[in-house]
Chains A and B, each alone.
Chain A
Amino acid sequence: MSENIKVVSPEGVVGIASCNELRVQLLQAFDTADPVLLNFSHIERIDLSFVQILYAAVREAGIRGVGFRLNGEVSKEVGEYLVAGGFCKEAPTEARELENHLVELQVK
């Protein structure tokens, strides 16, 4: 049975200016696909609004019973930001590591 995968790939600086667009994309993806993949490969920098979207997306996927995966390389800046904010204990290099290390995130 083939999976109905949706990959969401934000690019560049993903912060307060572009996060609503990401939020809407993720909501639409959860409506139509399973699993949903959030690709970190093209994200250069983030701010707190992205982190909040990430946490909310994980919870949303849990509530809906939709698979939610993180993939791609994590830029150095993104990793450091997550550690500085207390969201990760160690800076990840691969988004997959976030599934295990992002504090409170237990992705299914």
Chain B
Amino acid sequence: MLDKFQDSFREEAYELLNDLERILLVLEDHPDSHEDIAAVFRVMHTVKGSAGMFGFTEVARFAHEVESTLDEVRNGKLPVTPQLVSLTLDARDHIREMLQEPAAAGPKFTMISDELIAKFQDHVSSAHVKPGTAPQAPDASLEELTAEAEGRSVSKGPVKLAADADKEQGSADTNGMMGETRNHEHPVTYRIAFKPGESVFINGTNPVLLLDELAEMGELSVIAYTEAIQPLGRLEPENCYVAWDLLLTTKKGRTVVRDVFMFVEDDSELSVELIDEPEGDEDDHEYRRLGQILVDRGFAEAGQVESIAVRQRRLGEMLVEDGIDPRHVEAALVEQEHVERSRKKLQNELGSASVRVSSEKLDELVDLVGELVTLQARLTQTAVHIGHSGLTLVSESFDRLATELRDNTMSLRMVPIGTTFSKFKRLVRDLSHELGKQVEIKTVGAETELDKSVIDRLNDPLVHLIRNSMDHGIEKPADRAAAGKPIDAQILLKAEHSGATVLVTVEDDGAGLNRARIRARAEERGIIAPGQELNDSDIDELLFAPGFSTSENVTSVSGRGVGMDVVRREIEGLGGTVAIHSTPGEGTCIELAIPLTLAIIEGLLVQVGEAMYVFPLSAVGECIELTHQERMNNGKRHFVANRGEVLPYVVLRDVFGVSDNEPEIEQIVVVSSQGEDIGFVVDEVIGDHQTVIKNLGRLYRHIEGISGATILGDGSVALILDVQKLCSLAKREHQVTH
């Protein structure tokens, strides 16, 4: 059972540590941000507390030591410096490692912990700021923010106690003084009794505007007391006679609520009492009974309520008959209604909140939906074959439901690419220090969604590209200055939707590709013949040759030649493509086109000989006819005229070695590859097909031009064509033959 909780804690801790990394990087640029300092402290405090609770004692011990240093920072005794940020990032990484490998906990981790703790201690003793040089002591808001992490209250100086301050104190004690300043996890309800001083208008305050301010914090019910308004003959228009009972449901802490009255409370009667703090798991929404509210408010005696209650009539009416002020009864009813409404709202919100589900379970669900889609195709085919109208009707309804289920299931796996992007900020920061370059990373389109499995596999290629860019593309500051460029270099990481693919680009403003050097290295390594005629695009392609590197030295960053070929292999493994655009002196842009999902795609089913094949529909532009006569006329020249352009085509019968006679009229499926159209000649286009992608077995995995397989409605298998690979094979063949 503990393991289950530990897993849950670990998941949450990873999220917290990711947040910590992100906040630290922001803090490095904005060292005076009290809010970020408090947030860093809060994360470390939470990790420490939870780690101890779930048996990660070394993590708790280490986090406690780091927290002590952060405590100095939030108290203004220690400044935020790049060194401190680096140390805290190291601490963050160390905690993550300890969480990842709890089984390996022992001397190894303890030793690293101790080393890091010693570094923190050294930093504290050497960096303690001298009087006068200290950053400004944190203001009240910082104190409040950090108090939140500690769960302690902060006094904001003397506050005039209201008439029923005793009651308020009692309530505060009940809540352990926790709710004074911090925001609550769920909305709580306060009862605010506010009677402005008579002279409040003269001070220039409009009390109703204060109520507006409260209304902005949450849900507010307002009960106005007008009994004290004087008769018209004696009324002084500049005096205030109205008082209010207010019920506010908000997540704000009591101090924040009270602060609304900051400028009037000295002359007013004010009490802010926490009357309801639901956890969201209450069995029902029912609040205290009317009589109890009136007794609690001091407007009725308990005995009085009890004796009336036995009369079995509407309590409110009877209480009024018994002399209770109808306004007080009404106010109690408003309170009852307000709290019950708020509780119901909270429960509804919690009911619709997100649920954490393991990705394995999602994968299983997608697999099952894939099976269902396959079965549905089979049912459709059977229904058509039998020709039974009832079965056809059921099959069509099933088809609609299966499609909806598929779309919903796929959307569950879609996550924003920003989760990956944020990791690269840290990578760029660390590499900048290591390489002595000043590089800033900018991200665009972080909200772009991709299938989780695609995002997971995108990480390594992007790391390679950023490393390459920083090591080879971006110049040293002195070189940039000499070239008249800003010393601060930029890497732009961008994602955007483009049809059924997402384009991810890594663009730098570095020196661009050194094509002469690439060419020389390729000749040196025998990849090309000396003096071979190549255009820029061909030279750029050389970068993708296995093991190719222009680095003279192997560094920890790059130079082992395991970069670009690995990137291409990974991206092509995802069914995507890689393209390079580079301008000397201006920079390089590498564009990855990635399919949205790897599980189920819209396909175009075609027939070649006896076999079925699937084109990813996203790649298909159009289908045109090719008559036997045209093919004969073309001979070995595989070109047709299409829309005024010359369209090269590949005959799939030739590619797959189909020897029986081709039909009189064939179809050309026109697909687009890197801006160029290529046609693939097939016997027949069957139509669109929901394609559940199945991996090929190990033996068939490396067949060029095939990316997977799918099961058709009749149970037979269709191969999914790797269009990009087929196109590049066709281009290569075209180059060889011409």
A residues in contact (CB < 8 Å) with B: 16, 19-20, 23, 26-27, 30, 47-49, 51-53, 55-57, 59-60, 63, 81, 84-87, 103-104
Contact = CB atoms under 8 A, between A and B. Distances in A.
Given A84-B211, A85-B211, A49 B201 contact: yes
Interface string B227-247: 001111101011011101000
B212 A23 contact: no
Nearest to B226: A55
A63 B230 CA distance: 13
Given A52-B240, A60-B231, A103-B226, 6 more contacts: A19-B237, A52-B241, A52-B242, A53-B237, A56-B229, A85-B211
27 contacts: A16-B201, A23-B237, A27-B233, A30-B232, A47-B206, A48-B201, A48-B208, A49-B237, A51-B242, A52-B235, A52-B240, A52-B242, A55-B226, A56-B230, A56-B232, A57-B232, A60-B231, A84-B211, A84-B222, A85-B207, A85-B208, A85-B211, A85-B242, A86-B222, A86-B244, A87-B226, A104-B226
A87 B224 contact: yes
A86 B229 contact: no
Given A52-B241, A85-B222, A86-B223, A26 B232 contact: yes
Nearest to A52: B229
A82 B16 CA distance: 46
A84 B232 contact: no
Given A48-B242, A49-B237, A86 B211 contact: yes
B271 to A, nearest CB: 17
B208 to A, nearest CB: 4
Contacts, number: 74
Nearest to B224: A86
Contacts of B201: 16, 47-49
Main secondary structure of the interface of A (DSSP, over half): helix
Contacts of A51: 242
Given A85-B222, A104-B226, A48 B231 contact: no
A59 B231 CA distance: 7
A84 B237 contact: no
Contacts of B208: 47-48, 81, 84-85
A99 B598 CA distance: 67
A25 to B, nearest CB: 11
A57 B235 CA distance: 10
Interface string B186-212: 000000000000000100001110011
A78 B222 CA distance: 17
Interface residues of B, number: 24
A41 to B, nearest CB: 22
Contacts of B230: 56
A51 to B, nearest CB: 7
A77 to B, nearest CB: 12
B696 interface: no
Interface in B215-268: 215, 222-224, 226, 229-233, 235, 237-238, 240-242, 244
A60 B241 CA distance: 16
Contacts of A19: 237
B206 A60 contact: no
A26 B232 CA distance: 9
B232 A60 contact: yes
A51 B239 CA distance: 12
B225 to A, nearest CB: 9
Nearest to B246: A86
A19 B239 CA distance: 11
A20 B235 CA distance: 9
Nearest to A24: B232
A101 B445 CA distance: 52
B101 to A, nearest CB: 58
A52 B233 contact: no
A60 B232 CA distance: 6
A55 B244 contact: no
B222 A55 contact: no
Contacts of A55: 226, 229
